[in-house]
Amino acid sequence: MNNINRLRTLGLMSGTSLDGVDIALIETDGVDIFDYGRAYTVPYEEELSEQIRSILGLKPDTEENALKISLIENKLTSFHAEVVKEFISSEEEPVDLIGFHGHTIFHEPENHYTHQIGDGQLLADLTQIRVVNRFRNADVVAGGQGAPLVPIFHAALCAKMEKPVAVLNIGGVSNITWIGANGEMMAFDTGPGNAPVNDWVRKHAGLHMDYNGKLAISGKINEPILANLMKHKYFAKYPPKSIDRNIFNEKLEHLEGLSLEDGAATATAFTAEAVAYSMSFFLPIEPKRLIVCGGGANNPTMVRFIRQRLPKNIEVLTAREVDWNSDAIEAQAFAYLAARRLVNLPITFPSTTGAPIPLAGGVIHEPSALQPERVKSKK
């Protein structure tokens, strides 16, 4: 494409792990990635994190729920705006576009429903930069799963790699992208990611996560409980498929009674076992290489458990080992998806979300002059 279409695009991702906002800058035309800029994570303040947690699984189906969700959505959007302003204050060149994922509070694609909080118009007004958000909605309305959305970006990252190759993203939920020799893609959520481990150590030790997998590596996996966890009906469902982070909560109650370390080990093994099971049963051809990214790639115990469960001929590498910024990939992806939306290129496909046809996704918000009354109403 001509240089005139090259955009400096910011991506913003608030993951299911509730650790904070990932922000990343790329230069792209929606097809090629020309450059990678700065990227980092801004942790949520504890109060905001807990407020978001309080509306997970909530629908705005009553006046009370709608008001509660709206108030927290405004706070989350304002927080993202401050993150953007701080980021661009150190940039010498202007930013053209923002890809704003928001935070998923409810995901029920089987009923054509998904809800990510995050006010795209308010973010555009506060930053005075064009914003694209609501990436999942068109896909879900059309009958797709609305997730995973990152596969087309994974394909761009893996363009020069030997195929078939697979990319495993471990956030609160885990999803995998398989890319074949001719560029064909398959993607789906394999099951749990960091969420079960994070929720376990938060409840029993007051920690945000199992840092470096130290608790899990010192514990013992409870094999009977692990076998019971793997009996969840989700694992028998054929892709494309996606899940809400809370889908396994009832099953995870079986961890109660274990020690802190054994619970962490079993929860971590649950994620690894689900990955291995999914790769064995659902991928068209065994990949030569599996690249692990997302927050789970920073957990050596998680990566070790995955390696132990996969055939030895599959090379398992972390994103850092192939010179990717593991923590920034999802934010970079939403920057990429926003650029694709501007030129109406598809972001979801029948083989990645189950959409009936390749679909462009996202709502574009142009910045407008922000009136004082609007600022006041959003506080």
Is 161 in the same domain as 130? no
Nearby residues of 360 by Cβ (< 8 Å), 6 or more positions away: 138, 340, 341, 344, 345, 346, 347
- Which of 222, 224, 154, 148 has the alpha carbon at shortest distance from 184? 154
Say whether both 116 and 213 belong to one domain: no
Q: Going edge to edge, which strands form the sheet with 20-28?
A: 33-43, 20-28, 7-14, 97-100, 130-133, 363-365
Let me know whether 110 and 173 are in one domain.
Answer: no
Q: Is 190 part of any domain?
A: yes
CATH of the domain at 218: 3.30.420.40
Residues 126, 160 within the same domain? no
51 part of a folded domain: yes
* 317 and 366 co-located in one domain: no
Q: Under a CB-based contact definition with an 8 Å cutoff, are residues 331 and 12 in contact? A: yes
Q: How far is CA 61 from the centre of its chain?
A: 25
The token duo for 23 is: 């922000």
343: in domain: no
In a domain, 82, yes or no: yes
Q: Which of 118, 84, 33 is nearest to 365 (CA)?
A: 118
What is the token pair recorded at 68? 């509660």
Contact 282, 190 (CB under 8 A): no
Please report, in tens digits, the pLDDT of each residue of the chain (379 residues total).
444 589 999 999 997 768 899 999 999 999 999 999 999 999 999 999 999 999 999 999 999 999 999 999 999 999 999 999 999 999 999 999 999 999 999 989 989 999 999 999 999 999 999 999 999 999 999 999 999 999 999 999 999 999 999 999 998 899 999 999 999 999 999 999 999 999 999 999 999 899 999 999 999 999 999 999 999 999 999 999 988 888 999 999 999 999 999 999 999 999 999 999 999 999 999 999 999 998 899 999 999 999 999 999 999 999 999 999 988 999 999 999 999 999 999 999 999 999 999 999 999 999 997 554 444 444 4
Give the model confidence (pLDDT) of 223-276 as tens digits: 999 999 999 999 999 999 988 888 999 999 999 999 999 999 999 999 999 999
User: Phi and psi dihedrals of 89, rounded to 5?
Assistant: -65, -20
Q: Which two tokens stand for residue 165?
A: 């190759």
Q: Which of 176, 202, 126, 133 is nearest to 282 (CA)?
A: 176
Q: How many CA atoms lie within 13 A of 169 on its CB side?
A: 29
* Token pair of 82 as six digits: 């401050």
CB atoms < 10 A from the CB of 7, how many? 22
Residues 135 and 170 placed together within one structural domain of the fold: no
Token digits for 224? 């009977």
> Per the structure, how many domains does the chain have?
2
Q: Which two tokens stand for residue 215?
A: 């608790």
Q: Is the dihedral of CA 69, 71, 73, 79 positive or negative?
A: negative
* CA 130 to chain CA mean position, Å: 22
> Which single residue is written with the structure tokens 């596969």?
151
Q: Are residues 183 and 213 located together in one domain of the fold?
A: yes
- Euclidean distance between CA atoms 261 and 215, whole angstroms: 5
Same domain for 293 and 161?
A: yes
144: left (phi over 0), alpha (psi -120 to 50) or beta: beta
Let me know if 139 is exposed, middle or buried by CB neighbors in 10 A (0-12, 13-18, 19+). buried
Cβ atoms of residues 101 and 338 within 8 Å:
no
Helices (H) and strands (E) in the chain, counts: 13, 13
Buried b (16+ CB within 10 A) or exposed e, 51-73: bbeebeebebeeeeeeebbeebb
Same domain for 190 and 317? yes
Per-residue pLDDT tens for 46-61? Answer: 999 999 999 999 999 9
Q: Which domain covers residue 159, as residue numbers?
A: 151-328
36-45 tens-digit pLDDT: 999 999 999 9
Eight-class DSSP state of 170: E
